[in-house]
């Protein structure tokens, strides 16, 4: 494998390749709501802390954060997600529009509520998290009403993401329909899987980007216990199971492992400091989707994704990485 300095020198002038690339994102979306406050006493009504609120905020969550990363890296996100017909759907649309992300492809279902995760915090400590969500599977009948719009989006895009957070949007019917349409239009599908989703749901995707723990859980579906905790053996087995030519497993502070048909290579982390890994997986798959869209090979794309992940874990909270930060990371210090 080419050394890392050569990769930096090669990719730095190619970052403009990412600009304007269209990424079709199909996945669960939601809002991350934060209530920050101070705890100075215990409630007289029950043995629980009283949080005196000092600040509230709302951020894009789930696939919304993936779309924000695609946009901040210079691409255009075509976000196909299901929302309810409620106030949080309107809040979500406002958050997307503030990031320059179109809301034209949101699919509205009055039988569901818009996924929202409310975190009540004191300093860096979580007091409680409250989830508003409906995890029932998206019905084929509902999905079919958007068939034409979905096919048009895939035909116009440069790469496809399936982002699974187990909120009901990704199931065997919807995922296989997206993968089949992508194949019809010769678009590569990148999957960010959920640890307990049957691997058959992702059959035919070009590659997946689980983290190590997710890969360990997914591998348990394969009746070979000897591989279940062996990253080097998990990759090829999952590739064979879902009939994909490539596989990526992120390793946290240890970087990323990439499986390219018969070859395996490892990239160390580029993070100088690690403050918060929240949202790092969203950044990784966004960078991969743009590298694929630009026609980069798997090694170049993995390098880009690893650099982007190194940028976001050095910051607190789920944040989007931008091209300027990537460029700075690729430029040698003088």
Residue 102 buriedness (CB in 10 A; 0-12 / 13-18 / 19+): middle
Question: Using CA of residue 293, residue 295, residue 297, residue 301, what is the dihedral sign?
Answer: negative
- For residues 154 and 24, the answer to whether their CB atoms sit within 8 Å is yes
Cα–Cα separations (whole angstroms), residue 62 to 10, 115, 140, 186, 196 = 32, 9, 22, 26, 17
Name the β-bridge partners of 76: 22
Going by their DSSP bridges, the two strands 263-267 and 256-260 should be labelled as antiparallel
CA–CA dist 187, 293 (Å, integer): 9
Hey, what are 220's tokens? 């348990």
232 given a catalytic annotation: no
Q: What are phi and psi of 325, to 5 degrees?
A: -70, -40
Hey, what are 277's tokens? 């890994």
Q: Given the residues 28, 109, 192, 282, select the one marked as catalytic.
A: 282
List helix spans (H) across the chain.
4-11, 63-72, 87-98, 140-144, 147-156, 172-184, 212-219, 231-242, 280-293, 298-312, 323-330
Angle between helices 231-242 and 212-219 (to 10 degrees): 60
CA–CA dist 250, 63 (Å, integer): 18
Which residues does the annotation mark as catalytic? 282
């Amino acid at each position: 494998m080419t050394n890392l300095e050569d990769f930096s020198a090669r990719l730095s002038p190619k970052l403009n390749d990412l600009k304007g690339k269209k990424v079709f994102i199909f996945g669960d979306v939601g809002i991350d709501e934060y209530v920050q406050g101070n705890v100075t006493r215990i409630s007289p009504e029950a043995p629980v802390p009283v949080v005196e609120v000092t600040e509230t905020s709302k951020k894009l969550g789930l696939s919304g954060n993936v779309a924000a990363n695609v946009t901040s890296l210079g691409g255009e996100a075509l976000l196909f997600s299901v929302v309810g017909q409620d106030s949080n759907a309107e809040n979500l649309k406002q958050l997307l529009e503030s990031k320059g992300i179109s809301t034209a492809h949101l699919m509205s279902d009055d039988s569901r509520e818009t996924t929202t995760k409310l975190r009540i915090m004191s300093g860096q400590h979580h007091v409680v998290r409250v989830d508003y969500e409906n995890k029932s599977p998206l019905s084929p009948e509902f999905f079919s009403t958007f068939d034409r719009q979905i096919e048009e989006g895939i035909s116009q895009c440069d790469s496809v993401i399936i982002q699974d957070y187990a909120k009901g949007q990704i199931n065997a019917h919807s995922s296989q329909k997206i993968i089949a349409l992508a194949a019809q239009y010769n678009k590569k599908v990148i999957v960010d899987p959920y640890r307990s989703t049957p691997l058959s749901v992702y059959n035919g995707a070009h590659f997946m980007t689980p983290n190590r723990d997710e890969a360990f859980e997914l591998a348990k579906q394969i009746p070979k216990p000897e591989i279940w905790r062996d990253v080097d053996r998990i990759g090829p087995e999952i590739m064979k199971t879902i009939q994909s030519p490539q596989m990526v497993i992120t390793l946290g502070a240890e970087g990323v492992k990439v499986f390219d048909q018969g070859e395996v290579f490892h990239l160390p982390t580029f993070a100088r400091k690690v403050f918060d890994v929240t949202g790092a997986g969203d950044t990784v798959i966004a960078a991969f989707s743009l590298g694929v869209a630009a026609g980069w090979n798997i090694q170049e794309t993995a390098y880009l994704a690893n650099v982007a992940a190194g940028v976001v874990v050095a910051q607190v909270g789920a944040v989007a990485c931008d091209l300027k930060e990537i460029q700075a990371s690729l430029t040698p210090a003088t």
